[in-house]
Structure 1
Amino acid sequence: MQGIIRSGAWLAFFAAILLAWVFLYMMAMDMGLDLLGRPDAMGEAMRGMDPRMDMKMPMAEFGPLFTMWAIMMAAMMLPTLVPTLRAYDDLIVSAGATRAGWLGVLAGYFAVWVGFAALIAAAQQALLFAGVVDMLGIGTSALFQGGLLIVVGAFQFTRIKQVCHGVCHAPTVYFLGHWREGAVGGLRMGLALGAFCAVCCWGFMALGFVGGVMNLAWMGLATLFMVLEKLPDIGWRVMKPMGFVLIAAGVAVAGWPLIAGG
């Protein structure tokens, strides 16, 4: 019976991730975008709209933006939780943890990222009305895009990134040092792990303003890298090299208008 419950929980978890990506795909199609975030005629028209005009535009309103980002958090961040849930799963077998606690960890983690979705939706709305990003969430200047790439790349070398990544990278160590029993205990641990993860990975969410927040290929690539960062064997090996790549890309993007103009 326990095996059936375990399998059902994991199947539901992966089904939720798949469903989130399907919803994002449908939203992108409704906005006139392909998988690479390239707009068709309708998408180009939307991109050129002025959010300050007196007309109803969902991508200029907080509610639709928050919904989009909350679904994106499910699509992008739940896959990064697999090593953590797997570590808790092992404790169910060896240390008397419970499936209710497992669900609590999942709920706490996702609650943090829903909160993050509200923050970044508000940030996108502010950037949109300031003219920094367009209606599709893409930066309107090479300087902004390049600067954001450099900031996120530099963050890869900071002490706070190392500390938060260390927690995300070794969830078993965190569980053993901060163990709480039951569903409420799992929720508390999930909230803490979600907070560490949000600090660790915020930059890769913000990079949506470079490649496009509804560019599914771009955000899928960010998801893949965040998953790799949390794998026990290679996580430490990819963190700083990615920082160098992002900084170099930022310098190239910010400097390109000067080179092209010259």
Structure 2
Amino acid sequence: MGQAGTLDAVLRRDRRATVLTLVTVVVLAWGYLLLGAGMDMGSAMAGMTMPVAWSPGHAALMVVMWVLMMLAMMLPSAAPMILLHGTVSRRRDPERGGRRALLFAVAYAAVWGGFAIVATAAQWALEQAGVLTPAMSVRTATAASLLFIAAGIYQFTPLKRACLRHCRSPLEFLAAHWRGGASGAFAMGVRHGAYCLGCCWAMMLLLFVGGVMNLAWIAGLALLVLAEKLMPAGQVVSWVLGAGLIGWGVVGLVAVAV
């Protein structure tokens, strides 16, 4: 086998290993959520009225829950970018390319880890204000409707459109932002994570509508994110989704008014 054949074999092996790693992380994250993320969700769903007291331990548990929830929702749609970065890194530097691809993925996850900390702080503030139910959803139909409308409007903004374009075009992203070395791989992962966050943060707010631990709601939002990033007509999907969210919110406000 020649040098080119050896490199191709290494690339195939690395690609399989990367796919297996991503699948394992996503499955473990979903498994953790399915098991209740360390909380007594049965009591919450049964109508418990007293909020859980926030201690350092509870706050840490909430951060872990949010981190794993973000990984479960976002890694599937980021997989094409992570795999392409790994392939290009290996071709440029067969010896260290695999480690740099790992740094890219870790940096991407770190961005969503930062979002998880902010989301935990928002959850705490909303709970202290009496806005959230024990199931971690907003208490009033008006608040839910306004969140739908806000998320829908964001789908039509230039920022959303620009971020979605970068998320949907791995080759374009790598061509425009490639940086060599370990620090370059990490910086690229952060940049891609930032584009992904810019694309999806408003959708993540809808977790406070269906309930932060409502697994069907989480899965539905994850599928919508996956559709607008990976489907051929993803931009159209994004606009249709935006129109649907605005319409849903308006209907909700009308229902409250009457």
Q: Is this a same-fold pair by TM over 0.5?
A: yes
- Which residue, 21, 24, 41 being the options, matches 1:12? 21
Q: Give % identity.
A: 34
Q: Give the Å deviation of 1:26.
A: 0.3
Deviations for 1:76-99, whole angstroms, at most 9, x for unmatched residues? 111111121233244247655722
Alignment partner of 1:78: what SS? helix
| Residue matched to 1:49 | 50
Structure 2 Cα separation of the partners of residues 60 and 25 of structure 1? 20
Does the Cα contact within 8 Å between 1:59 and 1:65 map onto a contact in 2? no
The worse-fitting range, judged by mean Cα deviation, of 84-93 and 210-219 is: 84-93
Structure 2 Cα separation of the partners of residues 29 and 118 of structure 1? 17
1:123 matches 2:122: yes
| Residue matched to 2:256 | 257
Alignment partner of 1:27: what SS? coil
Aligned Cα root-mean-square deviation (Å): 2.3
| Residue matched to 1:25 | 34
CA distance 1:67–1:173, shift in 2 (3 Å): same
One-letter amino acid of the structure 2 residue matched with residue 44 of structure 1: A
Alignment of 1:156-171 (within 5 A): 156-171=155-170
| Residue matched to 2:146 | 147
Q: Give the Å deviation of 1:115.
A: 0.2
Alignment partner of 1:256: what SS? helix
Alignment of 1:172-183 (within 5 A): 172-183=171-182
Does the Cα contact within 8 Å between 1:61 and 1:125 map onto a contact in 2? no
Structure 2 Cα separation of the partners of residues 80 and 64 of structure 1? 25
| Residue matched to 2:79 | 82
Deviations for 1:100-130, whole angstroms, at most 9, x for unmatched residues? 2221211111000000000011001100110
CA distance 1:142–1:166, shift in 2 (3 Å): same
Could you state the TM-score of these two structures normalised by the residue count of structure 2? 0.88
Q: Give the Å deviation of 1:42.
A: 5.6
| Residue matched to 1:38 | none
Structure 1 Cα separation of the partners of residues 18 and 168 of structure 2? 23
Does the Cα contact within 8 Å between 2:37 and 2:65 map onto a contact in 1? no
Alignment partner of 1:157: what SS? coil
Aligned residues between the structures: 247
Structure 2 Cα separation of the partners of residues 30 and 116 of structure 1? 21
Could you state the TM-score of these two structures normalised by the residue count of structure 1? 0.86
Deviations for 1:51-87, whole angstroms, at most 9, x for unmatched residues? 5xxxx46799422211110110111111111121233
| Residue matched to 1:100 | 99
Q: Give the Å deviation of 1:258.
A: 2.5
Deviations for 1:199-250, whole angstroms, at most 9, x for unmatched residues? 1100111101111111111111111111111116221120100000000111
Structure 1 Cα separation of the partners of residues 92 and 229 of structure 2? 23
The worse-fitting range, judged by mean Cα deviation, of 163-172 and 149-158 is: 163-172
One-letter amino acid of the structure 1 residue matched with residue 145 of structure 2: G
One-letter amino acid of the structure 2 residue matched with residue 211 of structure 1: G
| Residue matched to 1:202 | 201
